[in-house]
Chain A
Amino acid sequence: MTGMKYPPLNAFKEPMLSWYKERPEQYELDRVRMEEIMPIKKKDSEKYKEYYSLINAWSDSWATSEPITEPPELSDFKIGSNNKIGDPRPFKSPAHASKLIKKVAHHFGATMVGITTIEPDWHYDYKLRGSKEKGTYKIPKHWKFVIAFGIPHQWEQVNSNPNLATSFDAYARATIAARRLETFIKSLGYPARRHSPNDGYDMIGVPYLVKAGLGEQGRNGIVITPEAGANFRTAFITTSLEMEIDQPIDFGVEKFCESCQICAELCPSGSISKADNNHETKTRGYRHWEINATSCFNYWMQSQGGLGCRLCLVACPYSRKANWVHTMARKADSADPTGIVAKGLTSMQKGLFDAPEAHEYLPPPDGEYANFRQPPEWLDVKNYLDVEALSPSKKI
């Protein structure tokens, strides 16, 4: 079998010509590759393509990452900027599909993964990424399932909120996992679109996380999971790939939040509701704890270092490190229908784990840019840089 004819030596121009003349064995190797190896590879790739479906999808996943510049009807059906996705590889069953997707998502770095179906109420009613049209739109027909996943922040840095911490570590990891997973699904022949921190979302994440069984919505407005509490960031994939879906979970967080107000008491901008329950506030018919997003964001703009504030995330008792003490406490709370354990744990949390008061996190003169905890050693300027570093706070 012969493939593409490799150009004769005298067809090359300088400096390639001299390079080949000095190394005739290299010319021969290149010629053999193009004329003999590649045709066999092409033929065998076609012959064995099904056998290598998954490893090729896995490989493509790590190799590609294109920005979203077209509407879902176009971009969701392409790998890279031009290659149309192939025919869908049939799965043995939806259960096999969800099992594989979850495994692969874990390998891409997604710590917690759940799968659910599309809910039109939970999409922004304005514009889809890549689309030039603005205004009300219909959910693309191929968006049938949602893969929701969460990735925790690095533990030590997130604890030194709000002024010596960031979300970008988990943002980046979630984005990378979403890009990889999107390509993996497309490589198996199914349209897919990622919704991630660095690429943007066409959806609201919290209700999908709840519906996909990752956790429950907490007083702080974000989802609290059994594994990492509220300490995580999310990304999603919308796709037509039929998978077995997960069910919402109830491990007692809603009840816990009714008695615990630690996040609301600690919030520097007072943006978190101190209401007895979340029965009153509804958006599009779905009840939730009320958050004043604007005053929250205004405090974001006041904080130093790393941009933003995640105090309500780190102060949540469910976000505490998953060692045996906290795991036991969380399980005891989940198993107690009376709420007595929740009250006891909240009191212990307040009594044992001291933290600056809400106003102390503010800029001077009301506060002193305090942090929830000391920064890790590797984020402490005086340990590594030879600079005059003026600390605004006695707490750090």
Chain B
Amino acid sequence: MITNLVIFAFLIGLLSGGVVVGAIAWAKSLGLNMNWWKWLLSGLWYCLFLFFLAAGFTFIGEGEAAAGWKVIGFSGVVVIVLGVGLWRVLRGK
């Protein structure tokens, strides 16, 4: 039976696949010399980004909008700082 959850999971699967394919293509076009640990670090950063984003919007969905925006705001700074660090590592600088 095709439920909303199935459609949602299908779309998320497509999106996730797109992210992986896009990340590989992007790394190539930017000339990044990726290896296993760089992919691992990138994956961890991406998971962290998704975790905080999902947590923030879960709080908003729960009716705790103030808590949600606090999480998104605080974690946004953390994710950006870590992202800049990761970018420097990936570029080898």
Contact = CB atoms under 8 A, between A and B. Distances in A.
B59 interface: yes
Given A324-B54, A352-B70, 7 more contacts: A156-B63, A159-B63, A324-B58, A325-B55, A325-B59, A354-B66, A373-B63
B58 A353 contact: no
A156 B58 CA distance: 16
Interface in B15-72: 54-55, 58-59, 61-64, 66-67, 70-71
A159 B71 CA distance: 21
Nearest to B67: A352
A84 interface: no
A321 interface: yes
Interface of A: 156, 159, 320-321, 323-325, 351-354, 373-374
Contacts of B54: 324
A323 B63 CA distance: 12
A47 B38 CA distance: 76
A354 B67 CA distance: 8
A324 B54 CA distance: 10
A164 to B, nearest CB: 14
Nearest to B56: A325
A154 to B, nearest CB: 13
Nearest to B55: A325
A209 B1 CA distance: 40
Contacts of B71: 352
9 A-B pairs with least C-beta separation: A352-B67, A325-B58, A321-B62, A325-B55, A353-B67, A323-B58, A352-B70, A354-B66, A353-B64
Nearest to A156: B63
23 contacts: A156-B63, A159-B63, A320-B62, A321-B62, A323-B58, A323-B61, A324-B54, A324-B58, A325-B55, A325-B58, A325-B59, A351-B70, A352-B59, A352-B64, A352-B66, A352-B67, A352-B70, A352-B71, A353-B64, A353-B66, A354-B66, A373-B63, A374-B63
A168 B7 CA distance: 39
A352 B64 CA distance: 9
A212 B71 CA distance: 38
Contacts of B58: 323-325
Nearest to A349: B67
Greatest chain B CB density within 10 A among A320, A353, A373 is at A353
B88 to A, nearest CB: 30
A376 to B, nearest CB: 9
B65 to A, nearest CB: 10
Nearest to A320: B62
Contacts of A374: 63
A323 B54 CA distance: 11
Contacts of A373: 63
B48 to A, nearest CB: 15
Contacts of A320: 62
Contacts of A321: 62
Contacts of B66: 352-354
B70 A323 contact: no
Nearest to A373: B63
Nearest to B70: A352
A323 B55 CA distance: 10
A315 B87 CA distance: 42
A352 B61 CA distance: 15
Contacts of A351: 70
A156 B59 CA distance: 14
A373 B67 CA distance: 13
A324 B50 CA distance: 14
